[in-house]
Amino acid sequence: MKAVNPYLNFPGNTEEAFNFYKSIFGGEFLAVTRFREFGAGTMGMAEADLDKIAHISLPLGAGCSLMGTDVTESSPGKLTIGNNVYITLEPDTINEAQALFNALSHGGRIEMPMQRTEWAELYGICADKYGVQWMVNYSGSVQYAGSSH
């Protein structure tokens, strides 16, 4: 496997959400494509939706990017926001872990505050203000054996 990249769907506010993520992670967008750029292949999108994001990509590190799209009323598929996707971050330092968690949870919801666990020096779960769920896991010096099933 070359890479695993989380792909997020938003109800028309992808650009706003990705500018938020860019403010946290830094970097520059690798791609920003609007539905209008597909020309005749706009998939029957409504005129009001043509300037929405068809694809956006923000690099998060070596070989990993956060990607997303707008799913609007005129999109072929329908958006259902649920609790089936989390993005797990493994920061390099405890300070980076705390900073990422604080920034991502600001205006959102904390499911599990940052704390020591059996598998990590610092671990927390939150949903950002766009409903995207995050796990921040700084394993540090913890050596977790896991279960032996």
Domain chopping of the chain, boundaries: 1-80, 81-149
Binning pLDDT at 50, 70 and 90, where does residue 147 land?
very low
Q: Which of 29-33, 55-59, 77-81, 144-148 has the lowest mean pLDDT?
A: 144-148
- The answer to whether 124 and 100 are in contact (CB under 8 A) is no
Tell me the pTM. Answer: 0.78
For domain 1-80, give the CATH number: 3.30.720.100
For domain 81-149, give the CATH number: 3.30.720.110
Tens of pLDDT, residues 101-121: 999 999 999 999 999 988 899
Burial class (CB in 10 A: 0-12, 13-18, 19+), 77: exposed
DSSP state of 67: E
Tokens of 22: 């860019």
- Check if 1-80 and 81-149 are the same fold: yes
φ/ψ (deg, to 5) at 143: -110, 100
Tokens of 138: 């700084």
Q: Nearest CA to 104 among 85, 76, 121, 126?
A: 126
List the end-to-end C-alpha distance of the chain, in Å, as a whole number.
26
Sign of the four-CA dihedral 28, 88, 55, 64: positive
DSSP state of 108: S
